[in-house]
Chains A and B, each alone.
Chain A
Amino acid sequence: MSQRPSTLHGLGAEFPSASALLHAAEKIQSMGFRRWDVYSPFPIHGMDHAMGFKRSRVSLFSLLGGITGLSTAFALIYYTSAINYPLIVQGKPYFALEPSMPIFFELTVLLTAFGTIIGLLLLTLMPRLHHPVFNWDRFKRVTDDGFFLVLEATDPRFDPDSSRKLLTEIGGTYISEIHHDPELDPHPARPEMEPAP
């Protein structure tokens, strides 16, 4: 393993089950790692807690979206029906809160949803076309029956040797280096990866 450190994305390990991955995540979290992630075919209940996630900031985007929606609705109704083209219908006022409420509500909800989606995409750095973990052959099983944990090399606590030992201790198997550039890492023979059939 004599790769230059800059091309190393991190160390990946596979775990046999969802609960094994959950316990591994708890241990990694308790050791103070910051830049790491887990991957599984389905959401695992309690993983947020195990990974020590703080409250997400998506709700801030939702709130901004909601405020935008409400003010858009107000401006739209008020400008069109009371300023631009005032018209008396059924003896009702040009502008009244009652008929505006459904529109306030709808546009608030709509733009809150947009805000939430946009916030989610921004915070998760989506959409992106590629990720270094796809350079790892074994990782393809993540959409089938594989449970993976990847410690990233940019973590201050990351050290290729001790981290590999740590992953073994917490029950990880098929521990492999994952590189940014597949050309620099042309799937070298990793005999420990594939057990004899």
Chain B
Amino acid sequence: MSHGPTHLPEAEKLRVEKLGILPVLFPVLGVVGLGSALIWGWMTNPMHLAFSYLFAFAVGFTVCAGALFWTLLHHALDADWSVLMRRILESLASCFPVLLLLFVPIALFFSKELWHWMTTDVSHDPLLAWKRPFLNEPFFYIRCAFYLVFFSLAGLLYRGLSIRQDEDGDPRITLRLRHTAYGFIPLFVLCLTFAGFDWLMALDHHWYSTMWGVYLFAGAAQSSMALLILITNGLVRTGHLKGLFTVEHNHIMGMLLFAFTVFWGYISFSQYFLQWYANIPEETWFFTYRNTGTWFYYSIFLVVGHFFVPFILLLTQPAKRTPWRICSAATWVLFMHCMDIYWIVMPNLQLQESRHAGHEATTTGFHPHLLDLLALVGVIGLLAHTFLWLLSKKSIFPNRDPRLRESLAVTNWL
């Protein structure tokens, strides 16, 4: 195999002054976006606010969960190519404490607006009576706390030990993190799956899909890879990682983004396909609702935009090796991920409104609202600010990782 440069690079700090207005923009967007959404929404339409907020929270949650997944996978597989980008993933995964705080308003104020099973009368709902041992409030909050505490601790552990290795260069830390990853991956899968059940699937507690966890996982891994591509290329554009980051890294990340685009298409089709074939009313309901009115065009757009467009954008080798092309594809994938989460969450708002009005569930279709955008901008602003703050504290890559040399010399042997 090839050999890397003889001298390992020095630790490199984030040069915040090179990032333009971003370090100021993110906290401002976070505070203004979230603040205005909360105040305006609370005064005009608390239920809409609850759903907009959950949508924004779920976008942030899935992207950070994807980053934690890539970190764990890197360690479990003893990967070498991703060492250079790993600090970015670790910092993204360390944003979970912020998500834990962002969940507090959901638990305190929004839960009764969001989850109909919390307020419905079990005696009129035999299906819910069956699910009571799982869907009851104390157990629900214990589970939520468990997911968020686990994700926070895992993120902080992986970033913390990686930073310690920057200082002492102890290769045993790499071994320790690898062994921990073997145990954390099953826990991660369970937490992500059940968080998806609790927060998103239970919005309509009659509906269920056994593919729900893996569907969310596909979107999470895909969107965080897209974000990683944008962040690394952004760092390179602003003069970081000079001589370290190569086109080969972009190529590998592009291949993974492509792979998870196909994976998302495969999983989302399988979920739809099984329910279409089985044709059980409480299952097909989810899709018939989302094929009613203008939601139909939205769903078609989701299929085309989330699968076919990035598939074609990323298919060829030059597309992955040309920075502007891979960055455009990654931006599009992130946008489509937000659209996907919106498609999961927001139809339930109209469902919930018709339940409260006491009539049959109907939908008038897709109605975008400024609250959705404000909440999303607010949550993303806060998370982005946390991420930049974490990234600026230490070296932007693990400069004493035993596999750094291999990561710098990675090639794809075209």
Contact = CB atoms under 8 A, between A and B. Distances in A.
Interface of A: 45-46, 48-49, 90-91, 98-99, 101-102
A98 B414 contact: no
A45 B1 CA distance: 8
Contacts of A90: 279
A45 B413 contact: yes
Contact of B414 (A48, A91, A99): A48
Given A101-B269, A102-B273, 16 more contacts: A45-B1, A45-B2, A45-B413, A46-B413, A48-B413, A48-B414, A49-B414, A90-B279, A91-B279, A98-B272, A98-B273, A98-B276, A98-B277, A99-B273, A99-B277, A101-B273
Interface string B278-299: 0100000000000000000000
Contacts of A91: 279
What are the 10 closest A-B residue pairs judged by CB atoms, nearest first? A98-B276, A45-B413, A98-B273, A101-B269, A101-B273, A90-B279, A46-B413, A99-B277, A98-B277, A48-B414
Contacts of B2: 45
Contacts of A48: 413-414
Contacts of A49: 414
A48 B412 CA distance: 12
6 contacts: A45-B1, A48-B413, A48-B414, A98-B272, A99-B277, A101-B273
Interface string B147-175: 00000000000000000000000000000
Nearest to B316: A59
Nearest to B273: A98
A2 B414 CA distance: 43
A48 to B, nearest CB: 7
A17 to B, nearest CB: 15
Nearest to A59: B316
A99 B278 CA distance: 12
Contacts of B273: 98-99, 101-102
Contacts of B414: 48-49
Nearest to A46: B413
A102 B269 CA distance: 10
A91 B2 CA distance: 61
Nearest to A49: B414
B276 to A, nearest CB: 5
A97 to B, nearest CB: 10
